[in-house]
Chain A
Amino acid sequence: MLWKGTIGMTQGLIIKNLSLYHKYEKMTLVNNVSLSIAPSEIVAVVGASGSGKSLLAHSILHLLPEEIEQNCEMLWNGETVNQHNIPQLRGKKIALIPQTIDALDPFLKVGKYLLTLMKGKNKQHRLHKIWSSLGLDIDWLAYFPFELSGGMARRVLIASALVQNPNLILADEPTPGVDADTLSGVLAPFNQMKQEGKSVLFITHDFFAALKVADRIAVMDNGEIIEVSPVSFFAGDGEKLKHTYTKALWQALPQNCFVNNWR
């Protein structure tokens, strides 16, 4: 059940051989990355800063700047995704949780911003529901982005992706600066989505958070995915893991270090 291959999968997102090339710097940024995300699945992409994780999220939405050339085959629920049909998918089917609060219009109150994104009836009611499920105070809807604290901003960004009720969320570093105690609170909406049959691409360098929430973990290094393993493989000394980099990552976690040294 955890090991979902791309073969025969018709629902969800499939990325085949994604390559990103910087035209001016003549540099390959992402090389031959293939990845799939099935419904009810949370796939984490972990890697160091600069390994190409965020580019991955933007390339799925075809939002990379002009100077980056993108080559790949992408399927969404069995249909090819390209420059022409991606605008209909953005936000409504595939939503992005951005990294920083800069992604919100500084001139708009967050509540107003979120309402304009929503369609259909009972907007206010639905927004309040999402808002309080994230533990946000209703009064904060009247705040401007620059008035939010770091932790509030984090959850508002998550709310901005949830309001259009998408099937896939691309979460770009949703947990920086979140301590272990409040981590479960921030991860809760992702688990909720999974229960509703939706999927999450969880991009992070927080390996600990990835292990906590994901079904499968893709390890990215230097623009390539070097390993995709179900989270159950991350156990013991990591003997089930294929790549030495992955093993090193696993063994470097505080609790494992402790175990290793103690032995």
Chain B
Amino acid sequence: MQILSFLLKKLTYLVILLFVVALITFLLVSLSPIDPIRAYIGADMLQVSPEQKEQIEIYWGLKESKPEQFISWITSLLKADFGTSLIYRAPVSEVIADKFFASLLLMGIAWILSLVGGIVLGSIAGMRQNGLLDRIIQLYSYVLVSTPGFWFGLLLLMIFAVGLGIFPIGLASPIGMLEGNVSFLDRLYHVILPALTLSILGTANIALHTREKLIEILKSPFILQAKAQGLKGFSLYKRHAFRHTILPAISLHFASFGELFGGAILAEQVFSYPGLGQAVVDAGLGGDVPLLLGIVIISAGFVFVGNFLADVLYKIIDPRFRKGLMKL
């Protein structure tokens, strides 16, 4: 019963969130100087007569008032119709699904690597507080946390792709190869550098949070008692600190889907990786309003899912939530 009301509450949040996001993006786009007809026709604009232009405007409903336009857009959204992308000349939902898969591989690898790396580094630093290892890890983390992602991506590209030639310079598959012939290994090979860029930066953040939390946990009464029971070092960490420490890290990591997405946009630009990030930039520059709106809605949902998982995970790991002692 409690779970049901929890889910219902979250679902209400989601609906409100998506509606507000849709409203704001619609307002922004309608205030922007993008002329959808010019974006649609492109260079052939001179060959289109004002009468033809007006016909397209009527066909697209651009003559209607803004609220009417918004309502008709929302109604089609509810029917899962995101419209047609102007630059890809395909349904927006198809474009997004296609790009999203490529991005998911990139973001998924980066997400897992940075989580594991961050927890390991943060735990070592926390257990050796103020020791040499801690100082090294802290220095590493602070430097990387303040490093811009695109710059770091370029650096990796220069060293590993251009200089050493170990990794490809860009794209998600070998140049000139047909879609059907690209193996999973090819994809993996191309995703390594951008994923590394994203994950090394993400690691620093998680490491700092994990270290902070671990130091806090190590001061708690149950750790003091575990020491009084003769535990120390790794077994102390494993038995009593680990679960308490990773909980905020994992939760934070799920909640940072937004940053992950933002980072992916930059990394995809640098590595010419054809993912959702690349698509959103193209849509913005090319005036592809349906695709832009579609991606915004989908990414809002994506970030919401991350936050939702963070919430749920907390409740699964902490027995105080499981036993209903603390409110969901």
Known: A63-B227, A146-B320. A103 touches B239 (CB 8 A): no
Question: A100–B228 contact, CB under 8 A?
Answer: no
Give 1 or 0 for each of A55-76: 1 = CB within 8 Å of chain B CB: 0001001010000000000000
Q: Given A90-B228, A102-B220, verify A144-B239 contact (CB < 8 Å).
A: no
Q: Is A18 an interface residue (CB 8 A)?
A: no
Q: How many Å lie between the Cα of A63 and that of B224 in the bound state?
A: 7
CB pair B225–A147 under 8 Å, yes or no, is no
Instruction: Judge whether A102 and B221 touch: CB under 8 Å.
Output: yes
Whether B240 lies near A105 (C-beta < 8 A) is: yes
B217 to chain A, nearest CB (A): 10
* B244 proximal to A (CB < 8 A): yes
A105 touching B222 in the complex, CB below 8 Å, given contacts A144-B323, A146-B320, A147-B323:
yes
Q: Please classify the interface of chain B as helix (H, G, I), strand (E, B), loop, or mixed, using the class held by over half of its residues.
A: helix
Give B219 Cβ to nearest chain A Cβ, in Å: 8
Which A residue's beta carbon lies closest to that of B223? A105
B135: Cβ under 8 A from any A Cβ: no
A47 within 8 A of B: no
| A104 CB-CB contact with B under 8 Å | yes
Chain A residues within an 8 Å CB radius of B220: 102
- Any chain B CB within 8 A of the CB of A106? yes
Could you tell me the distance between the alpha carbons of A146 and B324 in the complex, rounded to whole angstroms? 11
A186 to B239, CA, bound (A): 29
- In the bound complex, do residue B320 and residue A98 qualify as a contact, i.e. CB atoms below 8 Å apart? no
Residues of the A chain whose Cβ atoms lie less than 8 Å from the Cβ of B53: none
Q: B225 is contacted by which of A88, A92, A96, A164 (Cβ under 8 Å)?
A: A96
Query: Which listed residue, B227, B229, B244, touches A107 by the CB 8 Å rule?
Result: B244
Looking at the complex, which one of A87, A106, A160 makes contact with B232 (CB distance below 8 Å)? A87
Known A-B contacts A105-B240, A116-B239; the reply to A92 vs B230 at CB < 8 A is: yes
Give bound CA distance, A146 to B325, whole Å: 9
Q: List, sorted by A's number, 7 A–B pairs whose CB atoms are closer than 8 Å.
A: A63-B224, A87-B230, A96-B225, A102-B222, A106-B320, A160-B229, A164-B230
9 more A-B contacts (CB under 8 A) besides A91-B228, A106-B222? A63-B227, A63-B228, A95-B228, A102-B221, A103-B224, A105-B226, A105-B239, A146-B320, A146-B325
- List A residues at the B interface (Cβ < 8 Å): 58, 61, 63, 87-92, 95-96, 98, 100, 102-108, 116-117, 144, 146-147, 160, 164
